Structure 1
Amino acid sequence: MQVTTIGLDVAKRVFQIHGVEAAGAVVIRRKLRRSELLQFFAHLAPCLVGIEACATAHFWARELGAFGHQVRLVPPSYVKAYLKRGKNDAADAEAICEAVTRPNMRFVPVKTVEQQGVLVLHRARELLVRQRTMLVNGLRAHMAEFGIVVPQGIQRLPELVALLEDEKTGIPQIAHEVLAAMVVQINNLTTSIRQMEKRIVAWCRTNAAARRLSTIPGVGPITASALAATITDPTLFRSGRHLAAWLGLVPRQHSTGGKAKLGRITKMGDQYLRKLLIVGMTAVIRSARRTKAPAFAWVNALLERRPARLVSVALANKAARIAWAILIRGETYRAPAITAAA
């Protein structure tokens, strides 16, 4: 019997396969080692292959797609509903095989090598920023033990380093050597972060979608390039509202009996994109408070009624909808016309 659908549970070394024929009867249920996987699919007639959208899934999707198979990536949270009782590799593969055939299932588009390369650059920069923050906090805490305290913020680091180099502070020699080594690590990380940011800006200038997205207020090259590399096919979202919901920027619903109850935002989807949008909109709020320009009238009016953090989330939701419209229409951001008061 010919295999029509396969659920593939990927791992580092051992892969689990669950295949069914057109009527749903199980045809294949076996384990394959990493070295055997491509050879197996190369000799298999083209069929539908479902893979959980996890680590290395995009790589395997591209490799299997080259053999003529129709590969679909299923979000792990959607696979869980089809998992029976115990969890193991065979049960996971069976659940994936069942989930990929659902007509209303939502799939993750397969990313290209270039898009994954840009996202690796973003993730590496984010990792280095976290490491630098840890070192700065450690340096601040250690120097506080000797009574040396400066205001918070990475921009205050030079003041802390200057006090470390001051002999009048009375820091013991053994502690001074350790703290000086931490400062060297912080400087090296700062240099690497700046180099990565230059590469991100350079890629943003060469990508048409990223250039258009960067025209949105509060969206810089880092956010624009992350959006362009992550949202590979904007037509998968029916509207900008669906994109904002995918990013977790809409209220969580807990409604029953015809009564709508809305809570905090869902925080679903890509956490990195959500953070970039909210941080960018925080900069817009600072500009609105400082300039009081007519273009920020809506923002300032909202700030009078709501906390700044809530306003930044609302602006991030609005920016996500604008980003969808720009990606769909192939246009740049156009600021709304300001009507004069009568």
Structure 2
Amino acid sequence: MSKIIKYVGLDVHKDSITIAIADEGRDGNVRVYGKIHNDLGQIDKVMRKLISKNSELHCVYEAGPCGYTICRHLTNQGIDCVVVAPALIPKKTGDRIKNDRRDATNLATLHRSGDLTPVYVPDESDEVLRDLVRTRKDITTARKTVKQQINAFVLRQGMSYSGKSKWSKGHLTWLADLKMPHPAQQIALTEYLDAMENQEARIKRLEKSIVASCQNWRLLPVVEALQALRGISLISAVTVVTELGDLTRFDHPSQLMAYLGLVPSEHSSGPTIKRGPITKTGNSHARRTLIESAQSYRLPARKSKAIRKRQEGLPEEVLEIAWNAQLRLCQRYRRLIAKGKNHNVVVTAIARELSGFIWAIARAVPIAV
């Protein structure tokens, strides 16, 4: 006796999950099953009840703050489950009613018709390291904010650093030696400086933790290989790999470029072809990292001492890809600038091609399964 396929839509919230079921077939019945607490035990109870009726389940829910716990739990039990991108869920024009029951019903119906776009669910070890990387990024942003506040505070007092570069050793010494006209202002400056030093210390601790956590990571060979590229240091390589996961899941580099949102948007019809800014879809953390790394290709191609050190012990195929990347991207940067292209547009184009070389290196490095 063949099993009955049922598509299960889960509208997941912090405290509750609304469940809807769509039967197989275009005209299959769609109904709301009910609402349960967001608890794995209650989810198991519902799934066992549905499976006991000779059903094959295909579950789906939206990506959100609740993470991938439910997806991993159901997958480990042999139940098909996908997580979909909320921004890519089709919506009817003019539909002004939204509630949990309708959201769950829409998920079940659209999953049955194949109109949903699943997101990549990272491996649990990948997500653990990704949390460290994202925490470092958040603290780096906080440090940048504190530095801006210090600059603004000092400028309001009519003081300005006369040196060439800010946040150098000379600039920090100058800030430490400043005498404010009022004791309360001196306290404010001291608190700002202490906050900046605290952020610096936290960043260093996190970087040590990232290095230690990478040692037994299955994707460590890819991280080491990516550092052969110019502009890709350890933190940049770990960020890219933790955000994107196993890059061999992309069959072609153009798929990776589109996933990163680095391809131009397009609105064409008939003979009219109109392309606009990049789509900015997909993973913003990895895209931002590649944009920053692409800045280094504005300089002539060369292997610095730091790059040669990072390349020690890497396969010849990886070294060749990295050098070809330098030759091509440095030349392309100069050529596009000579054509009068905007600097940001050029850097984005370089980042897009850089992702292609990253894809090639990832496929050239064997990883443990």
**TM-score bracket relative to the smaller structure:** 0.7 to 0.9
- Deviation by residue 1:110-143 (Cα, 9 ceiling, x = unmatched): 2221111111111111110111111111111111
Q: Secondary structure at the match of 2:36?
A: strand
Distance 2:182 2:114 in 1: 69
CA distance in 1, matches of 2:230, 2:99: 47
Q: Which residues of 2 match residues 46-61 of structure 1 at below 5 A?
A: 47-61=57-71
Q: What does residue 189 of structure 2 align with?
A: 179
Secondary structure of the structure 1 residue equivalent to 2:280: coil
- Tell me the residue number matched to 1:26: 30
Residues 119/297 of structure 1: CA separation in 2 closer, same or farther (3 Å cut) = same
3-state DSSP of counterpart to 1:48: strand
For the aligned residue pairs, the C-alpha RMSD in angstroms reads 3.1
Taking only the aligned residue pairs, the percentage that are identical comes to 23
TM-score by length of 1: 0.85
Residue deviations 1:262-308, cap 9 Å, x none? 11111111111111001011123245599998983343333322333
Say yes or no: does 1:324 pair with 2:326: no
Q: How does 1:125-136 map to 2 (within 5 A)?
A: 125-136=136-147
Q: Does the CA contact (< 8 Å) of 1:5 and 1:20 recur in 2?
A: yes
Distance 1:177 1:313 in 2: 43
TM superposition score normalised by structure 2 = 0.79
Please state if 1:17 is matched with 2:25: no
Q: Secondary structure at the match of 2:167?
A: helix
1:250 maps onto 2:285 in alignment: no
Query: Where does residue 195 of structure 1 map in the other structure?
Result: 205
Write the letter of the residue equivalent to 2:292: V
Deviation (angstroms), 1:66: 2.3
Q: Does the aligned pair in 2 maintain the 1:3–1:27 contact within 8 Å?
A: no
CA contact (8 A) 2:262 2:352 kept: yes
Classify the secondary structure of the residue corresponding to 2:89.
helix
2:84 to 50, 53, 74: 74
Q: Deviations over 1:137-192 (max 9, x none)?
A: 1111111111112379995265454334336x443111111210121111111111
Counterpart contact for 1:247–1:267, Cα < 8 Å? yes
Alignment check: 8 A CA contact 2:22 2:109 kept: no
Question: 1:152-301 counterparts in 2 under 5 A?
Answer: 155-156=166-167, 158-166=169-177, 169-204=179-214, 206=216, 207-286=220-299, 296-301=330-335
With 173-182 and 205-214 compared, the bigger mean Cα shift is at 205-214
1:337 corresponds to? none
Aligned to 1:338: none
Which deviates further from its counterpart, 1-10 or 64-73?
1-10
Contact 1:74 1:100 in 2 (8 A): no
SS of equivalent residue, structure 1 residue 57: coil
Note if contact 1:109-1:233 (Cα within 8 Å) is conserved in structure 2: no
- Which structure has more RCO (C-alpha within 8 Å, separation ≥ 6)? 2
- Could you tell me whether the CA contact under 8 Å between 2:240 and 2:289 is conserved in 1? no
Distance 1:171 1:40 in 2: 69
Per-residue CA distance 1:63-115 (angstroms, 9 max, x = gap): 12222210111111222436954121112112221232344643223222111
1:335 alignment partner in structure 2: none
Counterparts of 2:269 and 2:328, CA distance in 1: 42
Gaps of 5+ in 2: 305-325
The aligned residue for residue 319 of structure 2 is none
Query: Would you say how many aligned residue pairs link Structure 1 and Structure 2?
Result: 331
- Does the CA-based 8 Å contact 2:10-2:60 persist in structure 1? yes
* CA contact 1:9–1:93 (8 Å) conserved in 2: yes
Moved more, 306-315 or 184-193: 306-315
Matched, 1:99 2:99: no
Deviations 1:193-217 (A, max 9, x none): 1222233344455512222222222
